[in-house]
Amino acid sequence: MTNSSLPEIAHYIDGEIVSGSSDRTQDVFNPATGGVEKQVRLAAAADVEAAVASARAAWPEWSKMPPLRRARILDRFKFIIQERADQLAEAISSEHGKTHDDALGEVTRGLEVVEFAVGAPHLLKGEYTESVGTGVDSFSTRQSLGVVAGITPFNFPCMVPMWMFPVALACGNTFILKPSERDPSASLLMAEWLSEAGVPKGVFNVVQGDKLAVDTLLEHPDVKAISFVGSTPIAKYIHTTGTANGKRVQALGGAKNHMIIMPDADLDMAANALMGAAFGSAGERCMAISVAVPVTDAVADALVEKLVPKIEALKIGPAADRSSEMGPLVTRQHLDKVRGYIDSGEAAGAKLVVDGRSFKQDRQGYENGYYVGGSLFDHVTPDMEIYRDEIFGPVLSMVRRESYQDAVDLIHSHSYANGTAVFTRDGDVARAFAQDIEVGMVGINVPIPVPMAFHSFGGWKDSLFGDHHMHGMEGIRFYTRLKTTTTRWPSGQRENPQFVMPTLG
């Protein structure tokens, strides 16, 4: 039930903030303090249906608007985001817990997709062939799908929605965003700023909610496509349910990203890369490096020696302290889950070199925040839970291997295949790794190989369900469908009926 003393985060439907028809709410916590600061409305099915109806009504006019005009509106939105990036970052940090600089980085990476989407008029051009037959011409066009929806995770409340809606809108679709109920404020800011930029009512809607809202979107006949980012079990559910209801679906799931460190690698470079990739955003990234794979014991020993003092020196604190390098985890439940994985690794026999459970936040006002320190395990084996599962926390596992091929085989044996990296000075190794590794996104001396907006993001195996990756040209293809038209104009000559397979030559 609603606590009237707390600010309320509601829905954005048909160009207005609305409370909706449900009295169900959920507390929104500040992870840095552990305190409840807001409440979010959880939609009833009727609220989702209202958003779909609004988007469906807005689609005909929006889809027929010249792509250049849609692009100009997105361009205005881009400048609003640039001017108010700090405001958006503060909203993200207050509900997710990531540091202010990290939140600003998230805004920047989302903004890059808006910049890409502004170029959609060029990317939506079709193909034309004159005289495919005598007096016959043929052309193809890419047209919008209609109402599409995005279901997005807590770890990137700005960037992941912007992987989706700028491209969808640029292509002429109308959009419904169902953000995470853990950090929903960023969704309303973006909705209001899109309206300010000139997006007509109904073109972009936000429905706060839980599984009820998700299922209503998955089953609604007017929703033509679903984009999702989250855990693999939910991604499978979204894909299975959405496709069973006749929808186009792209569902990005979990990850267990490995980084191979070869004997010839620059170990200082590799250690610094691991620090950011494993502990940035408290490890709550689907592209976090959670497994270091040093090749040979000598490399492993040297790497541990470099990592330990760096991990122990991590400055862990709230986003309000702009010098913080790592913030809290998102919820008390997730903190307990990550601590449980550390317990599990220790019980399984892995060597706990740095124990993040010992960290205590003693700053006044932040003692009850969801903090854990960075942890490092050595001598991890593939049968251990801490290796198999996506922990989604600041826990780095080291799995030693004796050769490059052993390291590659290790990666190939895992069910996830989202991102991976190799650190080496050897061009032959780098080229072979890029060509042969069975993973969707690859880094060569780059620890988190998230593609730029004009390329596309997505993994393989249990990290992606559906045929299309996100943003870039894959995004354009996902949010449009191809139509081919063949034309002939009367020449004044009479023709007899033809009953055989037509040929145009």
Residue 458 in any domain: the answer is no
204 and 88 part of one domain: yes
pLDDT at 1 over 60: no
Indicate the average pLDDT of the chain: 96
Map residue 117 onto helix, strand or coil.
helix
H or E element: which one contains 141?
strand 136-144
438 and 480 part of one domain: no
170 and 279 part of one domain: no
Residue 389 in any domain: the answer is yes
Contact assessment for residue 1 and residue 26, using Cβ atoms and an 8 Å cutoff: no
* Mean pLDDT computed over 228-253: 98
Domain finish residue from 390, 416, 444: 444
180 and 295 part of one domain: no
The domain total for the chain is 2
CA distance 342 to 338: 7
Domain finish residue from 444, 476, 495: 444
Find, among 15, 33, 127, the residue nearest to 332 by Cα. 33
Map residue 447 onto helix, strand or coil.
coil
User: Residue 361 maps to which CATH number?
Assistant: 3.40.309.10
pLDDT at 480 over 60: yes
Q: What pLDDT is stored for residue 2 in this prediction? A: 57
Q: What pLDDT is stored for residue 4 in this prediction? A: 64
288 and 364 part of one domain: yes
Nearest 5°: the CA angle 341, 347, 351 is 90
248 and 275 part of one domain: no
471 Rama sector, left if φ>0, alpha if ψ -120 to 50, beta otherwise: left
Domain finish residue from 444, 473, 499: 444
The pLDDT tens digits for 292-332 are 999 999 999 999 999 999 999 999 999 999 999 999 999 99
Catalytic center residues: 286
267 and 118 part of one domain: no
CA distance 96 to 255: 20
pLDDT at 183 over 70: yes
84 and 14 part of one domain: yes
Nearest 5°: the CA angle 105, 398, 273 is 30
pLDDT at 3 over 70: no
Residue 22 in any domain: the answer is yes
User: Residue 46 maps to which CATH number?
Assistant: 3.40.605.10
CA distance 462 to 459: 8
The pLDDT tens digits for 138-171 are 999 999 999 999 999 999 999 999 999 999 999 9
- Tally of residues, the chain: 505
Q: What pLDDT is stored for residue 499 in this prediction? A: 79
Ranges of beta strands (E only) in 366-469 are 375-378, 395-398, 416-417, 419-423, 441-444, 460-461, 464-465
Residue 375 in any domain: the answer is yes
Predicted confidence band at 505 (pLDDT cuts at 50, 70, 90)?
A: low
119 and 203 part of one domain: yes
Residue 496 in any domain: the answer is no
pLDDT at 469 over 80: yes
The residue assigned the tokens 């006949």 is 221
Q: Is 87 exposed, middle or buried (0-12, 13-18, 19+ CB in 10 A)?
A: middle
CA distance 258 to 423: 11
**What range does the domain containing 208 cover?**
8-253+463-484
263 and 247 part of one domain: no
pLDDT at 495 over 80: no
pLDDT at 366 over 80: yes
Task: Tell me the pairing of strands 35-41 and 8-9.
Answer: parallel
The pLDDT tens digits for 397-443 are 999 999 999 999 999 999 999 999 999 999 999 999 999 999 999 99
88 and 170 part of one domain: yes
391 and 440 part of one domain: yes
Residue 473 in any domain: the answer is yes
Phi, psi (degrees; rounded to nearest 5) at 165: -70, -35
Dihedral angle computed from the Cα positions of residues 498, 499, 500 and 504, in that order, rounded to the nearest 10 degrees: 30
Residue 452 in any domain: the answer is no
Predicted TM-score of the model (pTM) = 0.95
Residue 434 in any domain: the answer is yes
